[in-house]
Chain A
Amino acid sequence: MNDFTLTVQPSSAASLAKTGPIWTPPKIDFAMTHPHTLIIEPGMADRHYWRDLWRYRELFFVLAWRDISVRYKQTIIGLAWALIQPLLTLVVLTVIFSKVAKLPTEGAAPYALLVFAGLLPWQLFATSLSGASGSLVGNANLISKVYFPRLIVPTAAVVVSFVDFLVSFVILLGLMLWYQFLPGWQILTLPLFVAMAFLASLGPGLWITALNVKYRDFRYVIPFIVQFGLYVSPVGFSSSVVPPEWRLLYSLNPVVGVIDGFRWAILGGESNLYIPGFLLSWAVIAFFLWLGIRQFRKMEKSFADLI
């Protein structure tokens, strides 16, 4: 398909005929291509949706790459923002929960490490949730002008927060060095919990971003959830301070399972995983993911008309 030729045609009527290079399109052999017939009908469930999603995977990477490269453009300190924010939050939370509230740590782990092992997944969750939620409205120009499986937009937005996560992870390594803390074999399971955090944010994120297209009220919901969730989730304290009889109920918050998992992976033997609660968190995450995808797919067809 590369038989393009680019020729500049010299012309005597220079000013009039200055039509630039004449582009010769390549010949398409229509017998060679396999034209699949596409049927467009109202309310037709798109049978090829997941196949289309796979076909558009490059767009997914391109959109994620775009968001990442745009994120810190025209800023002075650039990526350092991804360090400053969690570092300051870490100091404040450590001082308040450890020195002021005098809450216990888990095992022998330093309190700052405990806080950061909770802050890391929380920030991952919060930035992916807000990124996914605003993604459709933020890409309104794309949605109203080109077709692609819309699911790409919020999932690509979620990926962006992973970059910030990696930067923050450097702080964790610094803290471990500072406290001379050596993690156990459990640290190898961390990717599993990172995936868990993504899935936990993707479910509600999909639902809210779809709702946001129709009702812009939902854009005010996200900052509230993020602010509220920081205190409701065990970020600044260990979930073991929750009384045992309430622990299962507490695990209905899917972030509890994610944070517990992170602490177990990072602090190793110092932290105990509360298995019933952890499984319940997974169930809640799965439910929200199912709900989010279902609602998203249901509303997807009207996005272009409403946005």
Chain B
Amino acid sequence: MSNIAISVENLSKSYLIGHNAAQSERYTSLRDVVARNARNLARKTRDMFSGRAIVQGDEVEEFWALKDVSFEIKQGDRVGIIGRNGAGKSTLLKILSRITEPTSGKVSIKGRVASLLEVGTGFHPELTGRENIFLNGAILGMSRAEIKSKFDEIVAFSEVEKFLDTPVKRYSSGMYVRLAFAVAAHLQPEILIVDEVLAVGDAQFQKKCIGKMEDVSKDGRTVLFVSHNMDAVNNLCHSALMLEGGVITRKGTSFDVTRQYLSSGRRATNNLNWIKPNNFKNDFADIVDIIGYSVLSDSGQNDSIIFKSRIYSVEIDANIKLRNQNIVFFLSYFSSSGELLFVSDCYDCPENYDDLGVGRITLSVKVPVELFNTGSYHMELSCVIHHMGWPMMGGKGQMMAFEFVDDSPATKMQFTANHPFTGSSKPGLLSVKLPWSIRQFAQS
């Protein structure tokens, strides 16, 4: 007996979408409008009799949300599905959970499926929390007896005991989401399909949910998980699929696929190599001309992913035209939300400073990878001549974005043990390891 839980063969799904030609034309005459409307009416009538859906707009196009998608998922696997908005992730989940039919292809699923495409599907605002637990449970496929036996646990998990008999329309959005997730968390399917439901709720709630899903999957259930949160996919899933434009472009371990996903979006704007564009304005080009700067790894290649286990350095190329003791290059590191974390300038090592003579120079400085948490950061080079001005001010388009990824085996080990962070990254803008020591006192 094979242990394939889900097998998908050449699955495709197309939709008809309409375009309005009228919006692209600047002038329209009454005659055109009448003619177009008549054409539209004729088409709609034809569609109606042939049993097709009415499509707004006067030009109809076939759109393939999924095209020839094939994959297999083994029983007990946790698989992440990632991709940009509109890549076909939700369509795939909808087909797997039988909400919509594929246009062609075949899926076979072994086992009871529960899909969670939304938190609180079918919640009725007028009904009380208690009533909604039963309603939502039944909608998700639980029997009444099943809900009854788990009712107390659901209530305890949701932390809304006090408001159980209040209509949910009076709930805060946090209470609403907690109650909804509490019901969903008590589903017991063999295959669990989860869409980006964690996007709602605060960070703590998200963490709680991810912990819950990990527990579910530890039990040998198959989990399909769609998320835009790469950390969540990495922590929860063994393997991942990447969808782009309705096609699977990458399959593999979740680590490889998420890495590919993160770098594919950035390549256009941010490879870690900035070269001064021709139109770059530098009022002090007769003193110092900045040629460019880049981040290089010990293996020589540059990529917007930075692994904490490797060594990286920033190299700044410049041309000193006129010797000036006041030239300072500095690097500013920012969090992804734009907060300045710290600045490092070439005054950090004043003993090297006399080497800043006339001619082509390359400054090199290490990236302090041990400081950073996982996640994305920005870095920017600036240059100032004290008492004169800025050859290169911040915010001139030289900002680089990169992603720190923790791949060191030691930390992973530590996380999988019963660690409070349940495998995700530590909170905080930075993540520094400090030498802790313990002094043990004898018991009195």
- Does A302 sit within 8 A of B, measured CB to CB? yes
Whole-angstrom distance from the CB of B264 to the nearest CB of chain A?
A: 29
Map CB proximity to A onto B145-157 as digits: 1 under 8 Å, 0 otherwise: 0100110010011
The reply to whether the CB of B59 lies closer than 8 angstroms to some CB of chain A is no
Q: Is the CB of B108 within 8 A of A38?
A: yes
Chain A residues whose CB sits within 8 angstroms of the CB of B102 once the complex forms: 40-42
CA gap between A215 and B121 in the complex, in Å:
25
Which residues of B sit under 8 angstroms from A39, Cβ to Cβ? Answer: 106-109
Interface flag for B403 (CB, 8 Å): no
B134 in contact (CB, < 8 A): yes
| A144 engages B134 (CB within 8 Å) | no
Contacting pair A142 B126 (CB below 8 A)? no
Distance of B154 from chain A, by nearest CB (Å):
10
Q: Which of B54, B106, B111, B219 has the most CB of A within 10 A?
A: B111
Say whether B427 contacts A66, CB under 8 Å: no
Which residues of the other chain, A, contact B218 by a CB distance below 8 angstroms?
25
- Complex Cα spacing A41 to B236, Å: 30
With both chains docked as a complex, state the minimum distance between the C-beta of A197 and any C-beta of chain B, in angstroms. 27
| CB-defined contacts of B185 to chain A, threshold 8 Å | 23
Contact B111 A70 (CB under 8 A): no
Contact (Cβ within 8 A) A6 B156: yes
B108 contacts A20, CB within 8 Å? no
> Do A146 and B124 touch (CB < 8 A)?
no
Q: Are A66 and B153 in contact (CB under 8 A)?
A: no
Q: Select which of B144, B146, B153 is within 8 A of A6 by beta carbon.
A: B153
User: How many residues on B have C-beta within 8 angstroms of the other chain's C-beta atoms?
Assistant: 68
Known: A2-B149, A30-B220. A146 touches B121 (CB 8 A): yes
Bound CA–CA A43/B131 (angstroms): 37
The reply to whether B221 and A145 form a contact with Cβ atoms under 8 Å apart is no
**Is B427's CB under 8 angstroms from A141's CB?**
no
In B78-122, the 8 Å CB interface with A consists of 94-113, 115, 117-118, 121-122
* B263 is an interface residue with CB less than 8 A from chain A: no
Q: When the two chains form their complex, are residues B126 and A16 in contact, meaning their CB atoms are under 8 A apart?
A: no
Residues of A within 8 A of B228 (CB): none
* Cross-chain contact A37 with B54 (CB below 8 angstroms): no
Query: Taking CB as reference atom, which chain A residue is nearest B4?
Result: A37
**Contact: B75 with A30, CB < 8 Å?**
yes
| Cβ–Cβ < 8 Å partners of A143 in chain B | 99
Contact B215 A62 (CB under 8 A): no
Decide if the interface of chain A is mainly helix, strand, loop or mixed. loop
CB pair B53 A214 closer than 8 Å: yes
Tell which of B135-143, B243-251, B267-275, B286-294 binds the partner.
B135-143
Partner of A58, one of B75, B138, B207: B138
Interface residues in B326-373 (C-beta closer than 8 Å to A)? none
> B122 to A27, Cβ gap below 8 A?
no
Closest Cβ of chain A to B78, distance in Å, is: 14
Shortest CB-to-CB span from B150 to chain A, Å, is 7
Q: Is B188 an interface residue (CB 8 A)?
A: yes
Taking CB as reference atom, which chain A residue is nearest B96?
Answer: A40
Do B420 and A74 touch (CB < 8 A)?
Answer: no
Contact present for A215 and B48 (CB under 8 Å): yes
Q: Which residues of B contact A22 (CB under 8 A)?
A: 211, 215
Is A18 within 8 A of B204, CB to CB? yes
B15 at the interface (CB under 8 A from A): yes
**Contact partner of A145 among B104, B117, B131, B220, CB < 8 A?**
B117
Q: Which of A25, A40, A145 contacts B215 (CB 8 A)?
A: A25
Q: Is the pair A40, B427 in contact by a Cβ cutoff of 8 Å?
A: no
Interchain CB contact under 8 A, B98 and A40: yes
CB nearest to A39 among chain B residues: B108
Query: Is A13 engaged at the interface, CB distance under 8 Å to the other chain?
Result: yes
Which listed residue, B139, B156, B216, touches A59 by the CB 8 Å rule?
A: B139
Cβ of B166 within 8 Å of any chain A Cβ, yes or no, is no
Contacting residues, chain B, for A2 (C-beta < 8 A): 149
28 contacts between A and B (CB under 8 A): A1-B146, A6-B156, A16-B427, A23-B157, A23-B185, A24-B215, A25-B221, A26-B219, A28-B190, A30-B75, A38-B108, A40-B107, A41-B106, A42-B101, A62-B134, A62-B139, A66-B135, A69-B131, A70-B124, A73-B167, A141-B118, A145-B117, A145-B118, A145-B122, A146-B97, A147-B98, A214-B54, A301-B100
Residues of B within 8 A of A (CB): 15, 48, 53-54, 75, 94-113, 115, 117-118, 121-122, 124, 126-127, 131, 134-135, 138-141, 143-144, 146, 149-150, 153, 156-157, 159, 167, 185, 188, 190, 204, 207-208, 211-212, 215-216, 218-221, 420-422, 427
Shortest beta-carbon contacts, A-B, top 8: A17-B420, A62-B138, A147-B98, A40-B107, A304-B100, A35-B111, A145-B121, A38-B109
Given contacts A23-B153, A38-B98, A304-B99, 19 further A-B contacts (CB under 8 A): A16-B421, A19-B211, A23-B215, A25-B188, A25-B215, A25-B218, A35-B110, A38-B109, A40-B98, A41-B102, A42-B102, A42-B104, A66-B135, A70-B127, A73-B126, A146-B139, A301-B100, A302-B53, A304-B100
